[in-house]
Amino acid sequence: MREIHHFIGGVSTPSGTGRYGEVFDPNTGRVQARVGLADATEVDAAVQAALKAQPAWAAVNPQRRARVMFAFKRLVEARMDELAELLSSEHGKVIADSKGDLQRGLEVIEFACGVPHLLKGEYTEGAGPGIDVFSMRQPLGVAAGITPFNFPAMIPMWMFGVALAVGNAFVLKPSERDPSVPVRLGELFMEAGADQGMDLKGVLNVLHGDKAAVDAILQHPAIAAVSFVGSSDIAHYVYLTGTAQGKRVQAMGGAKNHGIVLPDADLDQTVKDLVGAAYGSAGERCMALPVTVPVGEKTAVALREKLAAEIETLKVGVSTDASAQYGPVVTAQHKQKIEGYIQLGVDEGAELVVDGRGFSLQGFEEGFFVGPTLFDHVKPTMKTYQEEIFGPVLQIVRAESFDEALALPSAHQYGNGVAIFTRNGRAAREFASRVNVGMVGINVPIPVPVAYHSFGGWKRSAFGDANQHGMEGVRFYTKVKTVTARWPEGDVTDSAFVIPTMR
C-alpha cells in the first residue's frame, strides 16, 4: 500500500511513530494509502529544520524571494492537471473544483510575488532636529499552518505563500485525510528554489498528524505564529492554547452562510447561484451557502418551486466525470454525519422537499455519495439551522420582511459570509452596512475576496485579530521595527542622555 511521508528539511521522511491514518478514495470507498502521524519529536524535527533554514532565507533580498514565488507559481501551473487529479482522488471533489482549489491558492502566490512593495516601511525626514524616523517589516522566524481537508491546496498556499515571501520558514500540518497535494507543493517549492540557484531545504516543511501534532505545534516555543482553518470548537481551542503560549494566532472556524432573496431579485439567476453555492464541492466549503431566506410568501413559493426543479437537473458523479456538478464527500463518517442531520431536520419538523439520502451511483455503490437535499419551513430554533452541516443540504428559512431577513444572519453564532440578491441598490447598500457578518456578497453567492484583499469572518467564524492573506497576512507574518536616527555633527554633547523630542 502507498505510504505518504512527511517532507522535512527538503527530504521525504517516513514517520517513526508507528501510528497511521487511512487515506480513502471517496469515489470507491476503498483505502488507497496510509499516512504516518507525527508526534512531538517529529514536530520538533520539522521546526529545527525550519530554524536552521530561516536566517539564510530571510537574508535573501525580497526581489529574489519574489522570483522564487514566481518560479513556484509556474511549476504548479505546469502540473495543474496532475495535481488536480491527485487532489480529487483523495478529497472527492470533481476535477474542475480541484483546479479551482489550486487556482485560488495561486492567486495568493501571485499577490506574494509583490513582496518587495509589500515590505516597504514608512519614513519621516526631520522628525526632530537632525532626526529621521523610519520603520521596517521583518519576519517573525518560524510560522506554522494547520489546514483542513476541504481545500488541501488553496488554504496551505493562503498561509505559506505570504509567510514565506516575507522571509519566514514554515511548518505545514495539512489534513491527514487528503495529504498528498500539500507534500507535492513542498517539493515544488524546493524545485522553485533550485530554479533560482538556491537550496531551500527546511524553508517549507510538511508533516502529517492528528491532535498530537497540533498540540506539539501549539506548545513548541520556537514557533512564533500559528494559522488555522477548521471547525469553530477546534479554532477556539487553537486560539486559546496558542495565545497562552505567547504566539500570534489566527484561527478561522465554521460557518452558516445565508442568501437573502428580495422580491425584486432575478429569480432564475438567483436559483442557479444558490444551487451552485449550496451543492458545489458537495457543500464542503466554509463559504458554501446552505441557507436561503426568501422575503415574502410570494418569493418563497416561487423560489422553492424553481429550486426543486433546478436540483432535479444536478448530476452527482465520480471526481473524474467532467459532466458531474459534484462528487462524493470525504469519508464514510462524514456521509453518516450529514445524513444524520437530514434525519434530525425531519424530526425537528422541517419539510423535506428533496431527500439526498440513499443516493447510489452504479459501479460505485461503496462511494461516499450524498444526493442534493432541500428543506423548507426551517425555523431559527432548529438545531439543523444553528449548526454547520457541511454537506449538500440547502435550507429555506422564510422571512416576512427585510428587517427579519437581515436579523437572521446577524444573530447567528457564525458570521463568515452572507449574500443578498436584489436589483435595489439602496436595499443592498443598507444590508451590507448593517449585517453582522464579515464578508458580504451583493448578487455574488460566494463572496470570497480576491487575493489582494483579505479573508475573514466574525463571531464564531474567526478568532484573533488578523484575516487571511492580503495586507492582513503581511502584517500577521511580520513584526515592525522602528528606527530613530541622528548623525552627529561637531562636538559630542550630553543630549544623548535625553529622549529626543519633536521640538
CATH code where residue 299 lies: 3.40.309.10
Same domain, yes or no: 330 and 291 = yes
Q: What CATH number should be reported for the domain holding residue 472?
A: 3.40.605.10
Say if residue 217 is in the same domain as residue 291.
no
Residue 378 and residue 395 in one domain: yes
Same domain for 465 and 363: no
Which ranges of 202-296 does DSSP label H, i.e. alpha helix? 211-219, 232-244, 267-279
Q: Is residue 489 part of a domain?
A: no
Question: Do 223 and 262 lie in a common domain?
Answer: no
Could you tell me if residue 496 is inside a domain?
Answer: no
Query: Looking at the domain assignment, is residue 503 inside a domain?
Result: no
DSSP 3: E
Last residue of a domain, one of 411, 442, 473: 442
Judgement on whether residues 132 and 21 belong to the same structural domain of the protein: yes
Q: Which three cell numbers stand for residue 11?
A: 527530504
Model pTM score? 0.94
| 154, 171: one domain | yes
Q: Which of the residues in the chain have pLDDT under 50?
A: none
Residues 326 and 220 placed together within one structural domain of the fold: no
Number of domains in the chain: 2
Q: How far is Cα 35 from Cα 173, in angstroms, rounded to an integer?
A: 12
d(CA 374, CA 395): 6
Residue 294 lies in domain: 258-442
Whether residue 471 lies inside any domain: the answer is yes
405 and 303 co-located in one domain: yes
Residue 374, pLDDT score: 98
The β-bridge partners of 455 are 468
* pLDDT of res. 385: 98
DSSP of 130-187, one letter per residue? TEEEEEEEEE-SEEEEE--SS-TTHHHHHHHHHHHHTT-EEEEE--TTS-HHHHHHHH
* Catalytic machinery residues: 286
**In the prediction, which pLDDT does 1 show?**
86
Please report, for residues 352, 424, 433, 447, the alpha-carbon distance to residue 295 in angstroms, rounded to integers and kept in the order given: 20, 14, 19, 21
Q: Is residue 309 part of a domain?
A: yes
Q: Terminal CA-to-CA distance of the chain, rounded, Å?
A: 74
Residues 264 and 249 in one domain: no
Torsion of CA 269, 155, 177, 103, to 10 degrees: 60
Q: Is residue 499 part of a domain?
A: no
Contact indicator for 439, 449 with CB cutoff of 8 Å:
yes
Residues 75 and 216 in one domain: yes
Q: Residue 471: which of 108, 64, 57, 101 has the closest Cα?
A: 108
Task: Examine residue 498 and state whether it is found in any structural domain, yes or no.
Answer: no
Burial class (CB in 10 A: 0-12, 13-18, 19+), 41: exposed
Let me know whether 364 and 280 are in one domain.
Answer: yes
Q: What is the largest CA-CA distance in the chain?
A: 91
pLDDT at residue 488, rounded to an integer: 81
Residue 321 lies in a domain: yes
